[in-house]
Chains A and B, each alone.
Chain A
Amino acid sequence: MIVMFELNGKSVSARVVHPTSLLAMLRDELRLPGSKNACEEGECGSCSVILDGDLVCSCLVMAADVERSVVTTVEGVGDDGKLHPVQQAMLDSGGVQCGFCTPGIVMTAVDLFDRVESPSPDDIREALAGNICRCTGYGAILRGLEAL
């Protein structure tokens, strides 16, 4: 079946071979490999996207269920070739090492800063509870986001 939805500000349609995840559709059908696949169990957060205004794990969304929805992925947060402030902060603080977790962390932080004007260090830590990073030990990520 064909699913039509809004992806990063543009209408798109994609073929889904039921039943698969939004993550698989983004990566395999729509060729947007920014959202990462590390666990497919909702544990790591590296596949995080914003679906109809809510941060969710795209591996746990059924692809067919995004019909007529609005999806933002990490490819859609920057502005015309310019990095989003969250992305710049992660770069500046050294919060990116292998980079595998980075798209998920960026989406989580973008969502947090959209909802909360100046989040406290505890707010940031709680927001990141569902994002696993195996490289940085989180220190550089937290410093980067706390500086925003």
Chain B
Amino acid sequence: MDFVVATDLEEALDALGRGALPLAGGTDLMVGVNAGQRPDNVVALRRVRELRQRNGQRIGAGVTWRVIEDEGPRALAQAARTVGSPQIRNAGTLGGNVGTASPAGDGLPFLAAVDAEIELTSREGVRTLRWDEFFTGVKETARRTDELITAVVLPAALPGRQEFAKIGVRNAMVIATVACVVTRADDGTTTVALGSVAPTPIRIPEAEELAKTLSDPGSAALDEFQHLVAAGVRPITDHRSTEEYRRHGAGVLARRLLTRCLREGAA
């Protein structure tokens, strides 16, 4: 067994270069270990200070949901508040959510909605990938095994209005059936991103185009907006829900969040 408790980035990258599996909060990884997985080379990242830093638009991969809940941008903080339980939010990190790349990762729709970049660092250097270059499939990413996710980089200016919501069977401790983020900038530019309705987080460009022309939260065109979102998602039926329910939920949720953004804009 190889286990390195890394205290700085250098140590972490060296271990990764030797094939170690990164361990952050463990809230995804340990579920697998308890079920019988036996990684024989692990590097623990909890003490790597560089990963826990937040400055400006850069959120270190090791920042926990607990911190994001209090200090993150509005819609990401809203998402953080719905992750698991206090115990899970104290341990679980944004970098771990990105690393797992589950279609139901609650942090991911926000990253898609604001066109965030994922910063990857290895002993060879640093590269940043846009979210849609990084997430390549269900639990699949463009990260090489010798690369560490070091940060999520947000654009310099975030949209003034942003709303997150998710559908699940209860209020806490629930994996999303559908998750959605809608953002709106002062010039009317609107983004619509969803999770749990496709292999990766997705945007719905047709709905975004239409939304740009809307400003009245009571507009009849919201029916068309809802329809475009429902038509644009690619959900599946599984143990948590059906394709039909997810499609319907996606439209309803996006419409509700757009309405909230428009109301706020009018106020």
Contacts and interface: CB of A to CB of B under 8 A. Distances in A.
7 contacts: A42-B88, A56-B91, A62-B33, A64-B3, A64-B42, A126-B172, A130-B85
Contact of A42 (B1, B66, B84): B84
Contacts of B66: 54
B32 to A, nearest CB: 10
B87 interface: yes
A55 B86 contact: yes
A48 B1 contact: no
Nearest to A129: B172
A87 interface: no
B33 A55 contact: no
Interface size class of B (residues with CB under 8 A): 20 to 34
Interface residues of A, number: 30
Shortest Cβ-Cβ A-B pairs, 6 listed: A130-B85, A18-B1, A129-B172, A40-B34, A54-B90, A60-B30
Interface of A is mostly: mixed
Nearest to B34: A40
B39 interface: yes
Given A62-B23, A65-B5, A55 B90 contact: yes
Interface of B: 1, 3, 5, 23, 25-27, 29-31, 33-35, 38-40, 42, 44, 46, 66, 84-88, 90-91, 171-173
A41 interface: yes
A1 interface: yes
B52 to A, nearest CB: 12
A130 B1 contact: no
B86 A130 contact: yes
Nearest to B37: A19
Contacts of A20: 33
Nearest to A43: B173
A35 interface: no
A75 to B, nearest CB: 18
Contacts of A45: 85, 87
Most buried by A among B26, B35, B42, B46: B26
A57 interface: yes
A92 interface: no
A68 B35 CA distance: 27
Nearest to A19: B33
Interface string A79-115: 0000000000000000000000000000010010000
A61 B86 contact: no
Given A40-B34, A65-B5, 12 more contacts: A18-B1, A18-B3, A54-B91, A55-B86, A59-B34, A62-B42, A64-B42, A126-B86, A126-B172, A129-B171, A130-B86, A130-B87
Given A19-B42, A21-B34, A130-B86, A57 B1 contact: no
